[in-house]
Amino acid sequence: MELHAVAGLPEIRPGDDIAELVADRATLEAGDVLTVASTIVSKTEDRAVDLEEFPVSGRAAEIADRLEGITGDEKDPRFAQAVLEESTELLIDAPFLLTETRFGHICVNAGIDRSNVPDNDILLLPKRPAESAERIRSGLEDRGIEDVAVVVTDTCGRPFRHGQRGVALGWAGMPASRDWRGETDRDGHELGVTVQSVVDELAAAANLVTGEGDGGTPAVVVRDWEFGDHGGSDELFRSVEDDLIRQALREWRFDE
């Protein structure tokens, strides 16, 4: 398997066509996966916005006030409002905000970024990353580049383990997961692994070569890799019903 960062992408602006910008700078082959950081997808989709676009509700004011009291850091209630508007559920409301975004991804502050936005206050995640991935994939097809899967990525923390790692937000042209259920080891025993989250592993691999900040290269081509002859599943985000941790969080409140 090989991963190559796409070199020379310009600063991305609203309306830019990522498929065109990548196709002009990289040779893509059938079977490749193109990973694209959500930051640049968001920028093309006009998701860099100012905090003044988020008039503060009573709930946002209350949340910001409580967080300020707990952390001792100044909290802008308009930021809390933006997080609420991007989310369907607040899983943790103190000492930080862990929410489920409108497209099912669970992360801190609804994934809203305060860096990487030169002309605005904040950068929201793409509204529907699966559609973004599909649009980039179609754009490649329009240029005669067939059979390239696209994964829109972000970085994200997690319970139990320190640090952030690359994760997939949306994908097109491949399943999210390899389904190994029913497959056996050399001796005929059923495998312990059941479902392998391939899009997340691709996002993690890509994140090793993208970097952040000044030297950032937000698009990566993955080559010489095969999904293989396995069942596929497109479910990546768990529902509350099959996630005990989410159920536990519903019954818990941070104790100041």
Extract the annotated binding site for a divalent metal cation: 113, 154-155, 212
Closest CA to 37 of 140, 205, 154: 154
How many residues of this chain bind a second copy (CB under 8 A)? 72
Is there binding between residue 7 and a second copy (CB under 8 A)?
no
**208-241 exposure pattern, b = at least 16 Cβ within 10 A, e = fewer:** eebeeeeeebbbbbbeeeeeeebeebeebeeeee
- Closer residue to a second copy in complex, CB, 90/195: 195
Residues 132-137: contacts with CB under 8 Å, at least 24 apart: 132/41, 132/45, 132/170, 133/36, 133/170, 133/171, 133/172, 133/173, 134/172, 135/19, 136/18, 136/19, 136/22, 136/34, 136/36, 136/41, 136/172, 137/19, 137/172, 137/173
Is there binding between residue 88 and a second copy (CB under 8 A)?
no
* Residues 150-169 interacting with a second copy (rule: CB under 8 A): 155, 158-167
Residues in the chain, overall count = 256
Is there binding between residue 8 and a second copy (CB under 8 A)?
no
Is there binding between residue 71 and a second copy (CB under 8 A)?
no
Is there binding between residue 177 and a second copy (CB under 8 A)?
yes
Is there binding between residue 182 and a second copy (CB under 8 A)?
no
Reported in sequence order, the residue ranges of 182-233 that DSSP labels E, i.e. its strands, are 195-196, 219-223, 231-233
- Closer residue to a second copy in complex, CB, 139/175: 175
Is there binding between residue 10 and a second copy (CB under 8 A)?
no
Choices 67-75, 80-88, 138-146, 212-220 (CB under 8 A): range interacting with a second copy: 212-220
Choices 41-49, 61-69, 135-143, 177-185 (CB under 8 A): range interacting with a second copy: 177-185
Residue choice 92, 93, 128, 143 for contact with a second copy (CB under 8 A): 92
**Whole-number Å distance between alpha carbons of 40 and 62:** 32
Q: In angstroms, give the least distance from the CB of 114 to a second copy.
A: 6
Closest CA to 112 of 34, 53, 35: 53
Residue choice 10, 15, 72, 118 for contact with a second copy (CB under 8 A): 118
Is there binding between residue 28 and a second copy (CB under 8 A)?
no
Residue choice 7, 55, 248, 256 for contact with a second copy (CB under 8 A): 248
Is there binding between residue 143 and a second copy (CB under 8 A)?
no
First to last CA, the chain: 48
